[in-house]
């Protein structure tokens, strides 16, 4: 998974910020690594130097293999908080998107009940021996 960091003119793109962004995303998205090919990070200061409560913005766009990109945005008081917030939103979105995809695929390609559960298969064929001497007609 490639992480591409983009900042506006008002953000000082230090090595420390880049390391924080990379570490945060790599850790949070490691379970999606086979599906996510690239994450584009866009950091900006919405008020351009003026202090404001929620003026730091982080937009994350995840490129998914074989699917449309998924994008989220978070605003916060600090850039670190905005990155954390956007990362949490992206994880929830990917959980939902890829979870639905996984559920759909397993329903479409899943084995029938008789193959998936050997006990159910035996019961359906009538070859399952009753436990404790119980038979269909009661106790023996």
Q: Map out the domains of the chain as residue ranges.
A: 2-128
pLDDT of residue 55: 86
Average pLDDT over residues 84-98: 94
In the predicted model, is pLDDT for residue 113 greater than 50?
Answer: no
Kindly indicate the confidence band of residue 107, based on its pLDDT and cuts at 50, 70 and 90. Answer: low
pLDDT of residue 46: 85
In the predicted model, is pLDDT for residue 47 greater than 60?
Answer: yes
Q: What CATH topology corresponds to 2-128?
A: Double Stranded RNA Binding Domain (3.30.160)
pLDDT of residue 109: 55
Mean pLDDT of the chain: 79
Average pLDDT over residues 100-109: 56
Rounded to whole angstroms, the Cα distance separating 18 from 3 reads 10
């Amino acid at each position: 998974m490639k992480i591409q960091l983009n900042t506006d003119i008002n953000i000082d793109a230090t090595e420390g910020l880049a390391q924080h962004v990379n570490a945060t995303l790599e850790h949070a998205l490691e379970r999606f690594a086979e599906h996510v090919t690239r994450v584009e990070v866009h950091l900006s200061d919405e008020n351009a130097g003026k202090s404001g409560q929620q003026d730091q913005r982080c937009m994350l766009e995840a490129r998914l293999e074989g699917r449309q990109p998924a994008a989220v945005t978070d605003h916060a008081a600090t850039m670190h908080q905005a990155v954390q917030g956007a990362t949490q939103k992206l994880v929830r979105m990917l959980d939902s998107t890829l979870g639905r995809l996984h559920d759909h695929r397993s329903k479409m390609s899943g084995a029938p009940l008789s193959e998936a559960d050997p006990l159910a298969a035996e019961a359906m064929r009538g070859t399952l021996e009753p436990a404790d001497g119980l038979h269909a007609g009661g106790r023996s």
